[in-house]
Amino acid sequence: RTFLTGAVAAVRTRTPHMDLPIGLALGIGTLVGLWNAVNGVGHVYFDGLSMLVFLLLVGRWMQFRQQHQAAKSVDLMMRITPKHAHLIQADGGTVPVLVERLKEGDSIQIAAGDGLPADGTVVCGSSRLNRSLLTGESWPVSVQPGDWVEAGTINVGSPLVVQVAATGKASRIGKVMQAVELAAAQKTPLVQLADRIGGYFVVLVMLLSLLTFFLWLPESMDDAVNFATAMLIVACPCALALATPLAVAVGIGRAARAQILVRDGSALQRLAKPGKLWLDKTGTLTEGRQHAKWVWGHVPALQLAAAVERQCQHPIARAIVTAAETYNQDPEHVADRVQVVTGGVMGSVDQHQVLIGNEACLTAHGIYLDDFQHDLAAQLIQAEESPILVAVDGKVAGLIGICDPIRQQATEFIQQARSLGWSVGMLSGDHQQIAMRVGQQIGLSPEDCHGGVTPEEKLATIKRSLGRYATVAMVGDGANDAAALAAADVGIAVRGGAEVSLLAAPVFMASNRLMNLVLLLQGCRNTTRIIYINFAVSLTYNLIAVALTLTGWISPLLAAIIMPVSSVTVLGLTFAIPSFSTDESDEYALRGKSI
């Protein structure tokens, strides 16, 4: 019934399906058997058909079982959160339980170094949590009784007791992972190609079956029916239909283990073709942990600037707030009407209009530097520090120097990206001289270093690159670089929370490790290679099976036995060939470490 239902549905929708040749084989065998039984001639085939159906169902069960195991192995919640939790019992003892057995209201113990398996409220203990996956912030956040905590975060301090509120798909990270898991079910261009090839192959199989029937008809009717039926069964393109979606799903799952979240499966295919890789400097090639120092001006101006910057999430904003705290400038003021402008941010504090940004930002608002201020800014640039100006009520009131160290692995990353065939460039909002010096230190050519670039100019650069390279990828901030990320063939967000970043880009790097970008590029290439290997294996199997059946070596029963072989082989190859898996990446991903 399973095969016949699928065959009838294929006929009704006029869509060639794998069940069509199998259903046709069973139908032909049954009709010929009935004809022979009524006329008392030849074989009736009923015993053979019963065995054939049994073997086909066993093969289908084996295939579904393997696919179910594959789906479990790439479950993203299993990759991100623990499988077990320590449930606190009535007597105060703990017992390990599967996370899916937790109920709302249960109390669980979270040891130091453990990941949180559920959303909930802290009821006992104080600690610090690494929330980088959800917020993009690598610095641990302090929590205490009464605070809300979430699955996917890591306890890096003292033990906690948490009352469970939501687990699995109902948790915050579970909802994010659902969006990512949908990518595994999306039909990428290669999957669509495989579907088209599979449809043509089904038609070809039926034509080959007809050819086989007429080739063997001169020998005997029994041989003609047997071998034609065998052709319909053995040449079914099951493995061809399985090859691509399985490889994509496994690739997405393995990427998630390295804290690389992929929302669009076609991004894996596009990143397998090297082209132009544009990188935002801050937080990508540099550590993104800016240090600010008050160079010149009245300290109250720094206090006003900090009040505005407290409303922002940019790394420079956090650095300015930290600098204000070193001057014992506690948050006495609250800013309102804060808005991000090109090259800076502005707001109102205690009836003062405060603007913080680079020189171009101030000039655009009609505020100009005098010679002394120009000289100070030039000195900062010479020292490889970014000058940030503070203007209060239309006048320059202070100057801040921002220092952001280059990542230790930046040079190695550039070399490895080039070895994979990528041309690497840098787009930075910092001064051109600073961008050039950073580029020189990490091995970028001068023409690939662009400084003083606004978000609009980043977008224009991406658009100009689209027609010149096979693939244009942009690596940047999920919020500040949203336009450029969306315009690129593949946007890769490296800062910000998973929810916001996955709206702006199809790929989100939850880990701060720069070398995970190399892992992404290499993993996409490996995943595509697995797809092509699976194609080759399934097509080779079908060609050999067709040749053996045409020459009379394969009977219907033997065809039913060997038909699942190609699918099992494809499954085995997909899991055996590494794509994103490396011991180093797994270690850092599971521990939540960063550079």
- Does any domain span residue 253? no
Same domain? 120 vs 167: yes
Which range marks the domain in which residue 559 is found?
A: 2-74+186-247+525-588
> In the prediction, which pLDDT does 274 show?
95
Closest CA to 506 of 482, 532, 528, 527: 482
Same domain? 375 vs 464: no
- Does any domain span residue 427? yes
Residue 472 near residue 443 (C-beta atoms within 8 A): no
The residue among 345 and 64 whose pLDDT is bigger is 345
As a whole number of angstroms, the distance between CA 474 and CA 507 comes to 10
Per the listing, tokens 């088209």 go with 196
- Does any domain span residue 252? no
**Helix (H) / strand (E) containing 295:** strand 291-297
Count of residues making up the chain: 595
> In the prediction, which pLDDT does 587 show?
36
Query: How confident is the model over 434-470, as pLDDT tens digits?
Result: 889 889 999 999 999 998 888 888 889 999 999 899 9
Radius of gyration of the chain (CA): 31
**Residues 6 or more apart from 29 whose CB is under 8 A from it?**
45, 48, 49, 52, 225, 229, 556
Same domain? 414 vs 555: no
| Residue 234 burial by Cβ neighbours in a 10 Å radius (0-12, 13-18, 19+) | buried
pLDDT band at 412 (very low <50, low <70, confident <90, very high): very high
Number of C-alpha atoms within 13 angstroms, CB side, residue 572?
A: 9
Query: How confident is the model over 144-185, as pLDDT tens digits?
Result: 999 999 988 888 888 999 999 998 888 887 877 666 556 555
- Does any domain span residue 254? no
**At CA 111, angle to CA 106 and CA 114, rounded to 5?**
95
Over 60: is that where the pLDDT of 138 sits?
no
- Does any domain span residue 149? yes
| Residue 91 burial by Cβ neighbours in a 10 Å radius (0-12, 13-18, 19+) | exposed
> In the prediction, which pLDDT does 592 show?
37
Average pLDDT over residues 550-578: 79
Residue 266 belongs to domain with CATH number? 3.40.50.1000
Q: What is the pTM of this model?
A: 0.68
Average pLDDT over residues 336-352: 85
> In the prediction, which pLDDT does 365 show?
92
Give the chain's mean pLDDT.
79
Number of C-alpha atoms within 13 angstroms, CB side, residue 265?
A: 27
What is 402-443 written as a DSSP string? EE-PBPTTHHHHHHHHHHTT-EEEEE-SS-HHHHHHHHHHHT
As a whole number of angstroms, the distance between CA 561 and CA 11 comes to 26
Percent of the chain with pLDDT over 90: 23
Domain C-terminal end among 178, 207, 235: 178
As a whole number of angstroms, the distance between CA 387 and CA 359 comes to 8
Q: Which structure tokens are listed for 465?
A: 């690159």
Same domain? 395 vs 413: no
**Residues 6 or more apart from 147 whose CB is under 8 A from it?**
121, 122
pLDDT band at 204 (very low <50, low <70, confident <90, very high): confident
Residue 358 near residue 431 (C-beta atoms within 8 A): yes
Average the pLDDT over each of 103-107, 519-523, 546-550 and give the range with the smallest value: 546-550
pLDDT band at 586 (very low <50, low <70, confident <90, very high): very low
Same domain? 229 vs 316: no
Same domain? 296 vs 366: yes
Same domain? 453 vs 326: no
Same domain? 555 vs 539: yes
Domain C-terminal end among 128, 152, 178: 178
As for how many domains the chain has, the answer is 4
Residue 138 belongs to domain with CATH number? 2.70.150.10
Per the listing, tokens 């065809």 go with 559
> In the prediction, which pLDDT does 22 show?
63
Same domain? 68 vs 197: yes
Domain C-terminal end among 140, 161, 178: 178
Residue 326 belongs to domain with CATH number? 3.40.1110.10
Average pLDDT over residues 366-379: 90
> In the prediction, which pLDDT does 329 show?
53
Same domain? 318 vs 304: yes
Same domain? 388 vs 346: yes
Same domain? 417 vs 498: yes
Query: How confident is the model over 285-299, as pLDDT tens digits?
Result: 888 777 888 778 877
- Does any domain span residue 515? no
Alpha carbon distance, N-terminus to C-terminus of the chain: 57
Phi-psi region of 366 (alpha: psi -120 to 50; beta: other; left: phi over 0): left
- Does any domain span residue 516? no
- Does any domain span residue 520? no
Give how far Cα 261 sits from Cα of 151, 153, 585, Å: 16, 15, 14
